[in-house]
Amino acid sequence: MPPPRAALLRVLLCARLCAAAFRSPGEFRLAGLFQIHALRPGRPLAHGCGVAAAFRSHGYHLSQMMRFAVEEINNSSALLPNVTLGYEIHDTCTEAANLHGTLRALGREGRHDVEVLSAPQRYEPRAVAVIGPDSTQLALTTAAILGVFLVPEISYEASLEMLSTKRFYPSFLRTIPSDGQQVKAIGLLLQRFGWTWVALVGSDNTYGRDGLNALSELLAATDVCVAYRGVIPTTKDAGSPELRKLIQTLVDSRVNVTVVFSNRRNAQPFFEAVVQENITGMVWVGSEDWSLAQTIWQVPGIQNIGSVIGISVEQAEPTMLKRLESWENARERAVSGSAGSTGVGGGNGASSSDGIQLNCTQHCPGCHLLADTPDIYDIQASYNVYSAVYAVAHGLHNLLGCASGVCSKGRVYPWQLLQKIKQVNFSLHKSYISFDANGNIRKGYNIIAWNWRGQSWAFDVVGAFTVNPNRLHIDQSKILWHTKDHQVPVSVCSWPCAAGEMRLQQNRHRCCFSCVACPAGTFLNRTALYACQACGRDEWAPVGSETCFNRTVEFLSWADPLSWVLLIPTVLLLLLMAGLAVLFARNASTPVVRSAGGKMCFLMLGALACTCSSIFFNFGEPTWLSCLVRIPLFTISFAVFLSCVATRCFQIVCIFKLSTRWPALHEAWQRRGGPALFIAGSTVAQAVLSVAAVASGPAGPRRRYSVAAERVVLECGAGSAPGETAAILYNLLLSLGCFALSYAGKDLPADYNEAKCLTCSLLLHLACSAAVLCTRSYFRGRSAAVTAALGALGTLAPLLGGYFLPKGFVVLLRPHLNTAERFQQEIRSYTRRRDE
């Protein structure tokens, strides 16, 4: 049955009059600013919330929470013992009403407010602290006024980051995380799921515009690109052309993820337009103001728009909610009993049209009948109010020295209480309440996901954003995505490049790109995806590489198997030379040794041994000494050997062919020391060429990087190519002279005729030398060392075998041929053949 007309009038009149100013006396008074009514458009009022205002259950629930928290503290023996808190609640239905409530909280009853101008630090306002207001726009005005007098203000819903600026708002605090933290949470959320191509949409107010600006600035420093950024027009008509144009632009931007940073009032027509335009299959990331708002998830057909991931403040403790419900039920029973005993609910207060006196200063009997059941959004915001009241109470507790069990009831100045509130750190229903240096509560957010079970709406807490440090925790198994495979949706402008491919930006958005493999010698650093970086000088990289590899330093190592192949014959040659030297020394007086050169044989063998020793400098890592000695040792010692061979051949030719024709020439050659002078002069000339070759180029080992990409060739840099070529050519000239002289003596006695073996040996030497000269510019590092060693072995082995081995064979195995009689017989036979 409907209520009687008089009772309904009483309720409506009470809702209008009592909501304007709830009061409760106390030794320390708190002022509460709540939007219990909302002014209808087109009905401006200078002050007051009368018939033109619509009742708002959300603000009413918040005011009830403040009353509940104050009474709970007053009934507590641990917090503020023997101290009673009072409150005065003001309805902020308009900016004028908010300003009036702020000034009333700042004023003093029965005193002139101008006294503050003479001693502001000793000013005692009506309220020791202010709780609220809710909106950012109203909080800016209140915070600016109260900040002048350092009156503590704790807002429960104003999240604008600008309010954290202590220079302009020194006394502002809040129990809701700032938008700066919310923006960080959204940024981490987008990066966590790899959404790099997103759209940003915000409400056309301070909350939305500042949120979009902060989010755009944050995303600019990440790999997330904003494809489109728009503002929801301030309209309640979902079919407005401006709103439809905004939706169409979202569709044209080809994004799968849209961040809606808006309040509930603007978000409702926006999503109504989304449903009307049949936008489905998208991800909507919601700010905390609308993500759990009942007016949004009740939009018809909204369950088809896709997945909704939202930011929400931490949930209130169920224990606190049960106590609030018990408190409200007790008050309802008390009001009902009082109304039943008096008939109308007497007391001093307002009067109805029936002459009923309504007591509206303490409470508003029947106002709860106009308020809907608290939804999730109401509960969350109510906990912020609850925390704010307790923060003031704990600050007062510390300021009054209540730790001893008895509070000192002295004067409390706003600036004193402000310092204590900033320092509070207490636990409230399993949550820790404290403020940072900017007055922001140290509290993060919950990450929620909408979950439609049939036609019913619910949400799941799928993660959390914590502060100090900023971290995001997501349990993806709790998210039911709208996609067919229930996997994370993809929102990118261009698909990621393969490993080792850099991005070539196609337009102003860095997320739209084509992929090109990094060239050889460069790599792709994962922190710089738009340019390939060059490897270091001692590094290399193949095409399409993500890292550089150390180049292999190449030289002919002693442990290389090829080195052992070359070292073994080298050592055998040295041993053979040593054996021949011993053999010749023991048979130095024999005709064979004397015909080979006598004592000169030892100089020749020593020169060959030095030449053979130069081969060892081709093995191992090149050093300054090895590079300096290798070429001069080979060329000079080999020049000594060739000079001796040339001298020996010339002497034989002179004895047998020129002594009879030009006896003076032979006599002068012998008397002037021609052999020694020629060997010395030839050696000096080669030494000059070798030293000049070494001095003309950089000394020591050097690295060649141009031979191969993956290798660094370590080789000797001592000497210039022209200088070394000149030294080698000089030895070739000596070799040609030896060849000519040996060939000229081809008809000499057999024991003095080295033409056959020596000529063949010299031919092999010339062939090896020519091969070394022709190939030296094509081989580097290890190959060049192998070529040099092979060339030296190819030169030494034939010469040693062609000149010394036949004579050693005779001395060792044919001693009957090593006699003076046989040599004289050979000479007489040669003379007879020549005379005939």
Looking only at the bridges linking them, the beta strands covering 225-232 and 513-517 are unpaired
- 349-363, 504-518, 680-694: range with lowest mean pLDDT: 349-363
Range ranked top by mean pLDDT from 196-205, 232-241, 310-319: 196-205
Q: Is the peptide bond before 469 cis (omega within 30 degrees of 0)?
A: yes
Taking CA atoms, 713 is separated from 326, 563, 719, 720, in Å, by 87, 17, 17, 17
Looking at 308-317, 503-512, 743-752, 763-772, which range is the least confident one? 743-752
Question: Does residue 671 share a domain with residue 801?
Answer: yes
Question: What beta strand segments (E) does 254-305 contain?
Answer: 257-261, 282-286
Domain check: are 705 and 817 in the same one?
A: yes
C-alpha to C-alpha distances, 220 to 145, 179, 638, nearest whole angstrom: 35, 17, 73
Q: Work out the pLDDT band at 110, boundaries 50, 70, 90.
A: low
Identify the CA nearest to 190 among candidates 252, 258, 249. 258
Cα(637)–Cα(610) distance, integer angstroms = 6
**Is the distance from CB of 796 to CB of 765 less than 8 angstroms?**
no
pLDDT given at position 332: 63
404 and 333 in a common domain? yes
Q: What is the pLDDT of residues 612-647, one digit of tens each?
A: 998 888 888 888 888 888 888 888 888 898 888 888
802 and 730 within one domain: yes
First to last CA, the chain: 166
Query: Are residue 343 and residue 210 in the same domain, yes or no?
Result: no
Residue 297 lies in a domain: no
Q: Is residue 329 part of a domain?
A: yes
In angstroms, rounded to a whole number, what is the distance separating the alpha carbons of residues 447 and 151? 34
Q: What is the mean pLDDT of residues 282-299?
A: 91
CB 505 within 8 A of CB 512: yes
487 domain residue, yes or no: no
| Residue 298 identity | Q
Question: 41-86: per-residue pLDDT in tens?
Answer: 544 444 456 555 677 888 888 999 999 999 999 998 889 998 999 9
Using an 8 Å Cβ cutoff, are 696 and 719 in contact? yes
Last residue of a domain, one of 489, 519, 550: 550
The model's pLDDT over 685-716, given as tens digits with 9 standing for 90+, comes to 888 888 887 777 666 788 888 777 888 888 88
Instruction: Average the pLDDT over 724-740 and give the result.
Output: 82
User: What per-residue confidence (pLDDT) applies to 777?
Assistant: 66
Largest CA distance in the chain: 175
Task: Give the pLDDT score at 257.
Answer: 96
Q: Six-digit token pair at 481?
A: 């995505």
Distance, in Å, from the CA atom of 251 to the CA atom of 274, rounded to the nearest integer, reads 10
CA 411 vs. chain centroid, Å, equals: 56
Please say if the pLDDT value at position 3 is more than 50: no
In a domain, 397, yes or no: yes
Residues 729 and 827 in one domain: yes
Residue type for 701, please?
P
Q: Is 242 left (phi over 0), alpha (psi -120 to 50) or beta?
A: alpha
H/E run at residue 91: strand 85-91
CATH for 824: 1.20.1070
Shared domain for 732 and 681, answered yes or no, is yes
The answer to whether 243 and 272 have CB atoms below 8 angstroms apart is no
Token couple for 470: 């900023």
Give the confidence band of 830 by pLDDT, cuts at 50, 70, 90.
low
Residue 308 lies in a domain: no
> Are the CB atoms for 591 and 751 separated by under 8 Å?
yes
| Type of residue at 742 | S
490, 522, 550 — which closes off a domain?
Answer: 550
Q: What is the 3-state secondary structure (H, E, C) of 671-737?
A: HCCHHHHHHHHHHHHHHHHHHHHHHCCCCCEEEEEEEECCEEEEEECCCCHHHHHHHHHHHHHHHHH
Residue ending a domain, among 522, 550, 578, is 550
Number of Cβ within a 10 Å radius of residue 348: 10
Q: Chain-wide mean pLDDT for the chain?
A: 81
Query: What sign has the CA pseudo-torsion 374, 377, 382, 385?
Result: negative
Comparing 592 with 10, which gets the higher pLDDT?
Answer: 592
Least confident of 113-117, 584-588, 808-812: 113-117
Asked whether residue 626 falls in the same domain as residue 754, the answer is yes
Residue 299's pLDDT band, with cuts at 50, 70 and 90, is very high
User: What pLDDT score does 290 carry?
Assistant: 93
Quote the pLDDT of residue 361.
33
Same domain, 141 and 209: no
Give me the number of domains the chain comprises.
4
Prediction pTM value: 0.64
pLDDT at 661 over 90: no
Question: Is the domain of 473 the same as that of 420?
Answer: no
Q: Domain span at residue 22?
A: 5-113+121-176+317-434
User: Strand 21-24 vs strand 471-474: parallel, antiparallel, or unpaired?
Assistant: unpaired
d(CA 283, CA 99): 40
Is residue 296, in this structure, part of any structural domain at all? no
Name the 3-class secondary structure at 25: coil
**CA of residue 698 relative to chain centroid, distance:** 43
The pLDDT-based confidence of 359 (bands split at 50, 70, 90) is very low
Looking at mean pLDDT, say which of 68-72, 725-729, 808-812 comes out highest. 68-72
Q: Contact 748/656 with Cβ under 8 angstroms?
A: yes
Query: What contacts 817, CB < 8 A, 6 or more positions away?
Result: 592, 751, 810
Confidence of residue 455 (pLDDT cuts 50, 70, 90): confident
DSSP 339-406: HHHHSS--SSSEE-TT--EE--SS--TTGGGTSPPP-HHHHHHHHHHHHHHHHHHHHHHHHTTGGGSS
Evaluate the CA torsion angle 134, 137, 139, 141 in order and state its sign.
negative
Within 13 Å of residue 371, how many CA atoms lie on the same side as its CB? 23
Residue 118 pLDDT > 50, yes or no? yes
Whether 528 has a pLDDT exceeding 90, the answer reads no
Max mean pLDDT among 312-316, 353-357, 388-392 falls in: 388-392
Categorize the per-residue pLDDT at 6 as very low, low, confident or very high, splitting at 50, 70 and 90. Answer: very low
User: Among 149, 188, 186, which Cα is nearest to 169's?
Assistant: 149
Report for 121-125, 168-172, 564-568, 766-770: range of highest mean pLDDT: 168-172
Domain containing residue 80: CATH number: 3.40.50.2300
pLDDT over threshold 50, residue 255: yes
Chain CA centroid to CA 95, Å? 48
pLDDT attached to residue 698: 66
| Residue 494, domain member (yes or no) | no
Answer yes or no: do 531 and 665 share one domain: no
What does the DSSP 8-state code read for residue 36? -
CA angle 309-314-316, nearest 5°?
130
User: What pLDDT, on the 0 to 100 scale, is given for residue 826?
Assistant: 60
Q: Is residue 555 part of a domain?
A: no
Averaged pLDDT for residues 142-156: 93
Tell me which long-range contacts 155-162 makes (C-beta under 8 A, separation of at least 24).
155/131, 155/388, 156/62, 156/131, 156/132, 156/381, 156/384, 156/385, 156/387, 156/388, 157/133, 157/381, 157/384, 158/133, 158/134, 159/207, 159/288, 160/136, 160/206, 160/207, 160/210, 161/210, 161/214, 162/210
Give the pLDDT band of residue 269 (cuts 50, 70, 90).
very high
- Checking if the pLDDT of 5 tops 90, the result is no
Mean pLDDT computed over 790-810? 82
Say if residue 261 is in the same domain as residue 207: yes
